[in-house]
Amino acid sequence: MDFDLSEEQKMIQETIRKFAKEVIAPVASENDKKGEFPRDIFKKLAELGFAGTPIPEEYGGAGFDYISHAIVAEEIGRVDSSMRGTYSVQVSLVELPIFKFANEEQKKKYLPKLASGEWMGCFGLTEPDAGSDPASMKSTAVENGDHYVLNGQKTWITNAGIADLAIVYAKTDKKAEARGITAFLVERGMEGFSTKDLHDKLGLRASNTGEIFLENCRVPKENVLGEVNKGFKVAMGTLDFGRYTVAAGCVGSAQGCIDICKEYAIQRIQFGKPIASFQLVQQMIADMVVECEAGRLLVYRVGDMKNKGVPNTRETSIAKYYCSEMVNRVAYKAIQIHGGYGFSGEYDVERFYRDARINTLYEGTSQIQQLIIGAYELGIKAFT
């Protein structure tokens, strides 16, 4: 693996870093306090080609490689995890599975709208009683003429309330558990589809989160994504994409904490000198830097494997597990360096600290990642 970024990757990094600093960052705190998703900013992001980064140009995307895809997630996460979460879902959990599993007609119909930011998408897998165990989902899909009729509920769905298209999973064979799940492309406006926003979250307050309700929702058969009863494969493949950008976003958030702490430590005077000169402050910042750099290398390794088309489920879980735990440790130290001020919304580290917590929970908890990694090492699955 070449650890040097190519000239194209450097240009992408410079462009998204400038956009994040000048457009996303100035309103991130305000949007967090209001609990509002700034769709206008996402549209501007899309205008620069950053709403369809790894999607080929023939489908309206930018045709970026996977390391560039991670760089975009990292730089957005460096200033605002809420926007990074929206980006991850739009690209990794909606566009990439359509590109990988959809037929040609579906790709041409949906990818240009999503990659341009005209449409927003969401990933409807989690249910009130089916989180880490998606095979236990209760949502059903019953064949009815040239349609399927879907019934069920999804919860904790990022982008649910703003999505024009949802990838929804339901059981077409209730007795077959994971082997009876099918993925569907469900458009807002289809009969029986509705959403409800969720509020009062610990973090990611400027990212839309909601529930999906399927009440005799009629979905045309041509909107099956992949094959009937093969939806679990679609879901697991999708999570490999999603966990990758979560890990990259965690690296970005950790770097954001470091950026803020360096500036604060140099400016903050105690005992007559900057706290940056205190050995224990330097130790905390050194630990933060080492952990962030280690996470970045894990993410780039996965990106290199994805670019080569090499299976990477194990390595993706390693990156997601490490980076999601790492950013929580880094954000904790960032609060500590700021002292009492870190406990106040006056400084962005408070928002970074709150936002960090979700990373160990969604798209597979840290414990699920440990079980995946353990299964690869031992050859025995804990689930069966």
Q: State the CATH number of the domain containing residue 183.
A: 2.40.110.10
Shared domain check, 243 and 220: no
Domain boundary among 227, 246, 270: 227
Write down which residue in 227, 246, 269 finishes a domain.
Answer: 227
Residue 2 belongs to a domain: no
Of the three residues 227, 262, 281, the one that is the final residue of a domain is 227
Cα distances from 54 to residues 11, 173, 245, 297, in angstroms, run 16, 34, 12, 20
Q: CATH number, domain at 70?
A: 1.10.540.10
Of 37, 84, 24, nearest to 327 (Cα)? Answer: 84
pLDDT tens digit string along 31-42?
999 999 999 999
- Rounded to whole angstroms, the Cα distance separating 262 from 305 reads 33
Question: In this structure, is residue 241 part of a structural domain?
Answer: yes
Helices 81-88 and 25-34 cross at an angle (nearest 10°) of 90
Residue 371 lies in a domain: yes
Q: What's the rounded Cα separation, in Å, for the pair 213 and 232?
A: 20
Looking at the fold, whether 303 and 175 belong to one and the same domain comes out as no
Number of C-alpha atoms within 13 angstroms, CB side, residue 63?
Answer: 6
pLDDT in tens, 256-290: 999 999 999 999 999 999 999 999 999 999 999 99
* 217 lies in the same domain as 255: no
Query: Which residues are identified as catalytic?
Result: 363
* Residues 291, 276 share a domain: yes
Residues 87 and 159 in one domain: no
pLDDT at 335 over 70: yes
Number of structural domains found in the chain: 3
Question: What CATH number is given to the structural domain containing 262?
Answer: 1.20.140.10
Whether residue 290 lies inside any domain: the answer is yes
Range of the domain at 212: 122-227
pLDDT above 80 (res 1):
no
- Domain check: are 204 and 288 in the same one? no
| Residues 339 and 328 both lie in one domain | yes
Q: Given a cut of 80, is residue 242 above it in pLDDT?
A: yes
Same domain for 177 and 70? no
Residue 55 lies in a domain: yes
Angstrom distances, CA of residue 18 to CA of 48, 88, 237, 326, 365: 12, 19, 32, 25, 32
Question: Which residues fall within 8 angstroms of residue 263, CB to CB, at 6 or more apart?
Answer: none
The answer to whether residue 215 is domain-embedded is: yes
Q: Angle at the Cα of 184 (from 183 to 186), degrees rounded to 5?
A: 150
Average confidence (pLDDT) over 135-163: 97
Q: Tell me whether residue 384 is in a domain.
A: no
Same domain? For 279 and 358 the reply is yes
- Per-residue pLDDT at 384: 65
Q: What is the mean pLDDT of residues 69-76?
A: 98
Q: Quick one: 205 and 278 in the same domain?
A: no
Query: Looking at the domain assignment, is residue 1 inside a domain?
Result: no
Cross-strand pairs, 152? 214
